Every structure is written in structure tokens, then in C-alpha cells.
Amino acid sequence: MSHPPGPRGREVLGFFGRGRFPHTLAFLEDTAQKYGPLAYFRLLHQPTFLVTGPEFIKEVLVVQQRNFGRDFSAAILRELVGDGVITREEPLHRERRRILQPAFHREQIASYVTVMASEAAATANEWIRLAASGGLTVDIGAAMRATTLSIIGRLLFGDEFRSSANQISDVLGRVVKRARRIVPFAMMLKVVTRRYRQMLPRGPSLYFREHRAELDRILQPLIQHRQKQMGRDVLSLLLALQDDGEGSLASEDIRNEMVTFVLAGHETTATALTWTFYLLAKHRNYQEQTAKEIEQVCGDRMPQADDLASLPFTAALFQETLRLYPPVPLYGRRVLEDASLDGHKIPRGATVLLSPYITQRSEASFPNAEQFDPTRWLDAPPASRFAFFPFGGGAKMCIGDVFAKTEGVVILASLLQKFRFELASDLPVEVDPGVTLKPRNPILLEIKTRASYPALPSLARDFDHSGSLGSIIPGLLRTDSEPR
């Protein structure tokens, strides 16, 4: 079988992007436009396939998924979070996902909305306090990271997390900076990383040793506290599984999953919300349309789980942001066994690259693809399921996809209810993709209150856990023979 078309010779050097990932993504965009939905090139003698056509993405993630395993991104990520649900291969991934899945069922996520809304209300109250002395300009990215970290922290650990939030935020900020320096060289580092893990499967982190040690030092007291006094949070849930026999979690497993949830559970949603508020500030008509929908449904009270079905435009707006600015712009798959795409052999050991950022901006699936248009999601979804896959697909689809979408809508509803957002600068905003698709420079927004709202009661300080995760513990302890 012949190879698909693709760049050759010196043209391929564009992948390395002078050590900066934005140039790498630009190279891949150019490759897809020039050579089509399935392209081939060699990177340091490594056969590499860029797959951007929805029909071929479905083959990789669903139809032939047994032939494709996690690649370089998971290997790098494992050096921080360890052996967990987002780094494991089958069948170990399937077993761990089965244990954790009840915490992410839709009906369980509905019980988290109170925490989401109360932490968003805490952010709103702080803005109202600061704006009382005059205008307020905020770094919306920093604000969203603080809000989503507070949410995931309370859901994972309960109120005890609050005292550790600033320390964890500081460590995660340094982790992201380190990772952004590593990502452009991930293809070259993957062989070293894989061989290191083969020799020392439980050895210290190759790239994040001090960061992981610091996270363990911060989280261990929270875990020890919960071992003595069980609560209604996810940590209590996982600790309850330690003595559950088959499929139980060891202490190291629990620490790994906690680090995973803290990192992935706030960074991706915060990034998506950063872009959402930026787009709303640029498109005032959509901002006002969204605010009107929220006012009609929620009035001046905090959003509730039952409100979400009545906020279709707010959900469509967040969906459109995920299309244009997917939190993870690129990831890879390693070919475990020979596969075939469009009549071309995909040999064992090759690398397959998938890019939601490129695929989701295709004119073939989304007319006027570069245009921000939330109404496209109200009319009809794209014809192909895999024209839109910001959280992946198949058996390894992100376990928190519904959580992230729910959190995004709740935070939008909570803040647009009270504030207008305007750009504080006319300077162009550029993407700077790395671990996540962040803006190159902070996005500064002017915050203006919509009316003389009193500070809404924030449940973050006196919350009694009635809206937290207690109801999922019985679900996790059910045996497979019990009804679900």
C-alpha cells in the first residue's frame, strides 16, 4: 500500500516550530489544508499520520480503537499524575474507569451544581466588592482558574481544601510553565520516557519530580484527615473503596487520581471559559442574548440543576467556544497493531496525530468555520459525530466531559446574570497552544454590573455538603449484579 500524500524533506522541519508549539500547530494546519484529511510524513524517521477527517477519526477512536493506544502526551502526563485513568491502557483503563464512572453520571453531576454556583457566586461577590470603588479590570484567565480550582477542590476534598488552594494553585502554575517547555520536544522525548518507565516503572517523575513531591506533601494531610473523618466528597468515596476487594484502590492510586482530577478538573474548563468571555466581549449581541435567557430562567437567584435544560443558548455558546478553542488542541495515538485508513496501511509503531483544533475549523463540517456563531448548534449538529470532539471519543473519551460542560454553563449563568464584559484593550489576542490552548498574553476584561445586585449568598463558606457528592458513594459500592 502506498502512503497518503504529505510534506517531505525540509518541509517537515516546520513541525518543530523553532521550539514553539504555535508554529507546530500552524505547520499541521497547513499540512491538512494542502494534503487533505489523511496526511503522512516522517519525524526523525518515525512514520507519522495526521488524521483530520471525521470519518478517519472515528476509525481511530471507535471502530479500530483496539489498534491504537495512548502516545507521547500520555507518557509526559504520566510523569506528573502517575498511573491513573487518563494514562492507563486497556484493560487497566477500563477497570479504573468502571470504578470512577458513577461519580460522573449525569444525575450525579446535577448534584454538583450547588457547589459550582456557590463558588461562582463567591467570585461575583468579590468583583462587586472591588467594583464598588470604581471600574474593575480583571485577568479573566486567572479569575476562571481560581474559580474552577475552588469548585473541583471542594467537590474532591470538602471544605478542608480551602486552606490548601493557594499552595496548589502555585504548584500547578509552575507545572504548566514546565510542561509548555517540554511539549514542543515531546516527540523526541517519548522514547527516553518510555524506556525510563520500562526500567523504573515506579521511579520518581522524570520531568516533574519536585512538583509531584510538593503536590503529595500538600494533599497528604487532606487524605489523612479524611481517613479519620469520612465526609461526602470524592476523596471519601475513593477511600471507601480501599477495602472493597477486587478492583480496590491502593493509597498510591488514590493520590494519583486526586492529582489527575485537580489538574484536569480545573485547567481545561478554565481555559474554555477564558475564551468564552473573550468572545462574549467581542460579540456584544450574543452576550446580551445570553444574559436575557439567563434572566428569564433564573431571575436574580443562583442557577440550579433544573435550570440547565432551559438555557439552550447559553449551552450552545459554550459549545461554540469549545469548537473554536478546544482546551486540548492536539494529541496522539500509538499504533499497537497494523491498521488501515482509506486503503493505506498504518503500520505498527507509527504515530497518529489528532487535532480537534484543526478538524473543528473545517468548512466541510462547519460553514463559515472561522466565524463565532452559537446559533449553528441550535439549528442542527454537524453531520459527522467526529467533526466535533473536544473531549476525545470512544472508550478513552474524557471521563469528565459532561462535568466540564455543566460547569461551564453554570459559571456563565452565574456571572452573566450580574455583569457585562468588555475588552480592556484593542491589542490582538493570539493563541499560544501548549498543554492547553491558552491565549499568548492575559486577556483583560472590564467588568460592569448590570444592576444594583446585592451580594448573593455564597454557600462556599457555610455549605453543609447537601449538594456535594455523598449520594454517589452507594452507587460506587454496588456490585455488578445489582441494578444501576
Looking at residue 223, its pLDDT comes to 87
Q: Distance (Å, rounded) from C-alpha 215 to C-alpha 221?
A: 11
Neighbours of 48 (CB within 10 A): 19
β partners of residue 422:
446
243 has pLDDT over 60: no
Q: What is the pLDDT of residues 278-329, one digit of tens each?
A: 999 999 999 999 999 999 999 989 999 999 999 999 999 999 999 999 999 9
User: Is 3.90.550.40 the CATH number for 78-319+367-462?
Assistant: no
Can you give the residue ranges of every domain in the chain? 78-319+367-462
Q: Give the pLDDT band of residue 477 (cuts 50, 70, 90).
A: very low
Residues 16-22, mean pLDDT to the nearest whole number:
65
272 has pLDDT over 80: yes
Q: Give the pLDDT band of residue 182 (cuts 50, 70, 90).
A: confident
233 has pLDDT over 50: yes
β pairing state of 46-51 and 351-354: parallel
Looking at residue 464, its pLDDT comes to 35
Residue 280, Cβ density class (10 Å: 0-12 exposed, 13-18 middle, ≥19 buried): buried
Looking at residue 472, its pLDDT comes to 31
Neighbours of 413 (CB within 10 A): 27
Grid cell 475549523 in the structure block, residue: 361
Looking at residue 18, its pLDDT comes to 58
Looking at residue 471, its pLDDT comes to 33
* 140's grid cell: 479573566
Q: Distance (Å, rounded) from C-alpha 389 to C-alpha 378?
A: 18
Q: Distance (Å, rounded) from C-alpha 161 to C-alpha 151?
A: 10
Quick one: how far is CA 218 from the chain centroid?
A: 23
* 318's grid cell: 459554550
The proportion of the chain whose per-residue pLDDT surpasses 90, expressed as a percent, equals 52
Instruction: At 359, give phi and psi (nearest 5°).
Output: -60, -40
Q: Distance (Å, rounded) from C-alpha 75 to C-alpha 32?
A: 25
Higher-pLDDT residue of 464, 43 = 43
Q: What is the pLDDT of residues 135-178, one digit of tens each?
A: 799 999 999 999 999 999 999 888 888 888 888 888 988 888 88
As a whole number, the mean pLDDT across the chain is 86
481 has pLDDT over 50: no
Residue count (the chain): 484
Q: Which of 180-184, 215-219, 412-416, 467-471 has the lowest mean pLDDT?
A: 467-471
β partners of residue 335:
68
242 has pLDDT over 70: no
Cα angle 202, 221, 470; round to 5 = 100
Q: Which of 1-10, 246-255, 266-275, 422-431 has the lowest mean pLDDT?
A: 246-255
User: SS3 for 267?
Assistant: helix
Looking at residue 413, its pLDDT comes to 98
- Candidates 450, 113, 116, 439; CA nearest to 279 is 439
* 60's grid cell: 481511530
Selection from 80-89, 105-114, 262-271, 353-362 with the highest mean pLDDT: 353-362
Q: Give the pLDDT band of residue 453 (cuts 50, 70, 90).
A: low
Residues 360-387, mean pLDDT to the nearest whole number:
92
Q: Which of 15-19, 241-245, 353-357 has the lowest mean pLDDT?
A: 241-245
Q: What is the pLDDT of residues 186-229, one digit of tens each?
A: 667 777 887 888 888 888 888 899 999 999 999 888 888 888 88
Q: Give the pLDDT band of residue 247 (cuts 50, 70, 90).
A: low
- Candidates 76, 81, 74; CA nearest to 260 is 81
